[in-house]
Amino acid sequence: MNVYFDNAASTRVREEAAEVMLRILKEEYGNPSSTHYMGRNAAAELAAARQSVAEALGARPEDVYFTSGGTEADNWAVLCCCEALARKGRHIITSAIEHDAVLQPVKKLERDGWEVSYLAPDEAGRISEDAFVDALREDTVFASIMYVNNETGAMNPLSGYSREIKRRGLGTVLHTDAVQGFCKIPFNVKTLGADLVSVSAHKIHGPKGIGALYVKPGITIPPMLYGGGHESGKRPGTEALPSAAGFGEAARLGREELDQTAAFARKLRDYVISRIADEIPQAVFIGEGDSPFILSVSVPGHKSEILMSFLESEGICVSNSAACKKSARSRVLEAMPLEKDVVDGALRLSFSRYNTLDEAEFFALTLKQASETLIQA
């Protein structure tokens, strides 16, 4: 049996999105900036895709800008927003559990003289509202805290951070990487509280290489790239229309099916937890399961990379950290108050609408076999 439990890294492109992309590639190949009828047709397709992504965010289409993915959206938000705010202050708040697409740009700013507060997660993997409040200062001009952690599924209280910023009358711009929450956890940009929101298509059964950044009206963010006037002058370069159309279709269907998909993911996650608890009593479940799509579980005494190799030999794909870390030890789990052997034996499972209970059963039994067969570290 082939089991793909690594959907937080990337998802299977759904048929509906692939069909839209193929139609655009074959029929609507004009440049959206061209003024002839083929260009106008392409521009209409681009507008429809933007509308779909905006509706899934609860935003206006004119506030959503297409990017090459979540990483570009994060880099753009961090680097360019801070550039625009530098005269007002040079203090940034972020966390020790952010994706590298946020942490690396922040570290670059730190090397350039910015002061950064790196907040530590609590035992549930969350960045508490109290921790954020304590770090917030008069000269804090920018903060970036992810909405749903990509390794533990912990959800952070963005709206609480936003309320405190408003209560103090600060001009702090709040950004969130919402890649793991978009079309999975119910939210809209108004209630979320963030001024800048990054999302990506390939986490919601859309294509790789396309994402978006929501920019709240009134927020000044200069472009990161320079060239033409595409994306309202914010992101030059001819838009990747087939990918944008696939993103739009995935977002439209993801929004419509969110409740049903999330309920199934919760059922699947609960089943996996129950079966692992029965078969491997020593297993440790990390975090409190805020997102039904992500489960972090450890088999202390074993190395995660060895467990992963055994599982892969049986056709099961999981990870032990973010995909971009190439199986390195998870710094997210290292930042949490966990025992070393728990971190060393941790696996990340992440689910989608295409997984099954039979796959969950096969995984639990195979992990039990691994825990009984492999020599402990």
Q: What contacts 24+ positions apart, CB below 8 Å, involve 221-226?
A: 221/76, 221/77, 221/80, 221/81, 221/84, 221/196, 222/80, 222/83, 222/84, 223/76, 223/80, 224/72, 224/75, 224/76, 224/79, 224/80
pLDDT along the chain (377 residues), means of 10: 97 98 97 97 98 98 98 98 96 97 98 98 96 98 98 97 97 98 97 97 98 96 94 95 98 98 98 98 95 98 96 97 60 93 96 98 98 84
Long-range CB contacts (< 8 A, 24+ apart) of 106-109?
106/78, 106/144, 108/79, 109/78, 109/79, 109/82
Ramachandran assignment for 38, one of left (phi > 0), alpha (psi -120 to 50 degrees), beta (any other) = alpha
User: Looking at residue 324, what is its pLDDT?
Assistant: 52
Helices 304-313, 357-373: inter-axial angle, 10-degree rounding: 120
Residue recorded with tokens 């309320």: 163
Point out the catalytic residue in the list 80, 82, 317, 324. Answer: 324
- Is residue 176 within 8 A of residue 147, CB to CB? The reply is yes
- Which pLDDT value is given to residue 375? 78
The confidence score (pLDDT) of residue 330 equals 85
Residue in 179, 175, 167, 204 with CA at minimum distance from that of residue 192: 175
Maximum alpha-carbon separation in the chain: 67
DSSP code of residue 319: B
Structure tokens at 116: 């950064």
Which H or E run includes 19? helix 15-27
Active site residue 324: yes
Complete domains list, the chain, with CATH:
3-11+258-373 (3.90.1150.10), 15-253 (3.40.640.10)
Rounded Cα–Cα distance for residues 350 and 323 (Å): 12
Give me 77's structure tokens.
């938000």
DSSP state, residue 37? H
Half-sphere exposure of 90 (CA within 13 A, CB side): 10
Task: Output the pLDDT for position 365.
Answer: 98
Q: Is 148 helix (H, G, I), strand (E, B) or coil?
A: strand
φ and ψ of 14, to 5 deg = -75, 150
Exposure of 134 by Cβ count < 10 A (0-12 exposed, 13-18 middle, 19+ buried)?
Answer: exposed
Let me know if 145 is exposed, middle or buried by CB neighbors in 10 A (0-12, 13-18, 19+).
buried
What pLDDT, in 10s, does the model give residues 65-78? 999 999 999 999 99
Burial of residue 211 (CB within 10 Å: 0-12, 13-18, 19+) is: buried
Strand-strand pairing, 3-4 and 316-317: parallel
Q: Which residues, other chains included, contact 313 with Cβ-Cβ below 8 Å and sequence gap of 6+?
A: none
CB within 8 Å of 372: residues ≥ 6 apart: none
State the amino acid at position 16 in one-letter form.
Answer: E
